[in-house]
Each structure stands twice: as structure tokens, then as C-alpha cells.
Chain A
Amino acid sequence: MADSMHPCLIETHHRPAPVAPGRREWMRLSVRVASLVAAAGCLPSALQAQSVEWNKAAFDARLLADAVKALGSAAPVESREISMTAPDIAENGAIVPIGITTGLTGVARLLVLVEKNPAPLAAVFTLSDAVEANLNARIKMNQSSWVYALALMADGRTLYTRKDVKVTLGGCGV
């Protein structure tokens, strides 16, 4: 499926990468995100934090980048401060336990995205000051894929970490 492949990943074949592909991917994304957010008149994520309206555009997005765009997040930056627990190999794609935790304060939202799912965005958690940025949930995975954990910070930053999870039996037809 060529259309599911991120253009940046294709480019790396004929252009030396100055930065790691993952980071470059997000950097390119950030430019598009910025323009789209402006065009759509979206509020900064910090102001949206209390909204509980189900974000149809984000959940319907077929590409990771589109889902992040639809949430109006800032340019995602990879961060060691965010940590994710997920199995290296998930035998059953219908139940993949994911844990996200960070020691950072000021986390407004935590997101879980699965790059190769039919719709990448799995869940969005909006945190208040009363809860720790430490969540566990179970998601479905269609096939082996990168799983992304994004943290939308109250100061407008978006941090992420990712993990490659192999799936033995896909979980979307379940």
C-alpha cells in the first residue's frame, strides 16, 4: 500500500538524511500542521483541553499526520521524558496493553496512535491536575506497526515517543 507510506520515508532512499527519519517526518509535519491549524482557526491545544466533544475528524483520519493535524497539536518533538510500555510482540492484536507515563508536569492530553491501523488514532485522554500522567489501556492493532504516544503539554508543546510492536494475529477483524 504505497499511499499509506509517508512521503518522507520514500525520500530517504535518494537523499542523505541530515536527521533521523522519524524526526524529519515530524519536522515536515509541523510546517503543514501550523498552516492547517491557522487555516482552520483552531485554538491552541491548551485552550481545547477541557473540550470533551468527540473529535470525528481526528478519529476518521487515515494517516497518522492527518490525525495529529485534526487535533490541532503543535509540532511533535521526540522526547525521552515520555515513556511507553507495550509488548515487543503482541500475540493477539485485539488486546495490546499500552502504558504511557511521564514525569513531566503540565500534561494536558495523552494520545495513543497506531500508524498502520485503518484509522491511526486510538484514544485521547484529557488530564486534570488531580491525575498523574500515568495511564494504562488496551488497544487493537491490525498489523505490526509503530505505536506512538503523544503528550500535548499545557504550554503548547507536543512531545512523543514511539515503539515498534510486532503483531502475530491482527485484531481489527475481531
Chain B
Amino acid sequence: MTEPTRIRAQLSGDKVTVRVLMTHEMESGQRKDAAGKTVAAWFIQEVMVTHNGKRVLTAQFGPAVSKNPFLQFVLKSGKVGDRIGISWVDSRGERRSDEGVVAASA
């Protein structure tokens, strides 16, 4: 079972700064367990970002992206209440989609 992605989107001026924290082991395939056996790679491969349902950013990750991947990006325009969707697919084919809402700047 996968854990929810944390999404924080803040409006500043016309722009929206979005911070995303996905929950994933991001197993590199380099690590060895206590018995000395290599732990198989297991990581998020693709991330898709949508803004009100429209795709705005996609990412391909390798195993060298840190555990619990963090991503920050800036939308050129947006307004309070806009929906930010984050979905990912990992190397085992597991998927997760989450949605956040743009908030006014603090």
C-alpha cells in the first residue's frame, strides 16, 4: 500500500510555487541486506504533474533520486483553488495519484 503524496502549492503574485513530497523507498539496487544479498532496485520511474487536469510537467526518475522524492517547481500562472495533481508509476508498476489545491500565500 502506498502512502499519500504531500502537495503544497502557494500563490505568490501570479506564480504558484509547488512543493511535492512523494513517499517511496527509492531502493537503489546497490544496497546489500544483512545477509549480504543485493536488494533489488525499486523506485519511482515516472511522475506526472497536472494543473487543473492539464499536464504541465513530467519527470523520469532513476534510482539515484533520493528516498521520499522531493520536487519543487513554479507554475507561471495560477489562482487560489486551482487543482494540482501528482501521479507516479514505480518500477514494479505500482501507481499513485494525489491532488492538492493552490492556497494563498501565507
Q: How far is the CB of A3 from chain B (nearest CB, A)?
A: 18
Known: A130-B77, A131-B73, A131-B75. A125 touches B67 (CB 8 A): no
Q: In the bound complex, do residue B30 and residue A172 qualify as a contact, i.e. CB atoms below 8 Å apart?
A: yes
Contact mask for chain A residues 95-120; partner B; CB cutoff 8 A; 1 contact, 0 none: 11100000000000000001001110
Q: A38-46, A72-80, A136-144: which lies at the B interface?
A: A136-144
* B interface, over-half SS: strand
Q: In the bound complex, do residue B46 and residue A52 qualify as a contact, i.e. CB atoms below 8 Å apart?
A: yes
Q: B4-12, B49-57, B97-105: which lies at the A interface?
A: B49-57
Closest chain A residue to B26 by CB distance? A140
Most buried by B among A95, A128, A139: A128
Closest chain B residue to A92 by CB distance? B66
Contact mask for chain B residues 79-90; partner A; CB cutoff 8 A; 1 contact, 0 none: 000000000000
Q: In the bound complex, do residue A54 and residue B54 qualify as a contact, i.e. CB atoms below 8 Å apart?
A: no
How many of chain B's residues touch chain A, expressed as a range? 20 to 34
Q: How far is the CB of B73 from chain A (nearest CB, A)?
A: 5
Q: In the bound complex, do residue B60 and residue A139 qualify as a contact, i.e. CB atoms below 8 Å apart?
A: no
Known: A128-B56, A172-B28, A174-B28. A121 touches B73 (CB 8 A): no
Closest chain B residue to A67 by CB distance? B62
How many of chain A's residues touch chain B, expressed as a range? 35 or more
Closest chain B residue to A97 by CB distance? B70
CA distance A97 to B72 in the complex (A): 11
Q: Is B42 an interface residue (CB 8 A)?
A: no
Q: Specify which of B48, B70, B75 is in contact with A138 (CB 8 Å cutoff).
A: B70
Extra A-B contacts (19), CB below 8 Å, given A134-B73, A172-B64: A52-B58, A96-B66, A118-B30, A119-B64, A122-B61, A122-B62, A122-B65, A126-B59, A131-B49, A131-B73, A135-B71, A136-B72, A136-B73, A138-B69, A139-B65, A139-B66, A173-B31, A174-B28, A174-B31
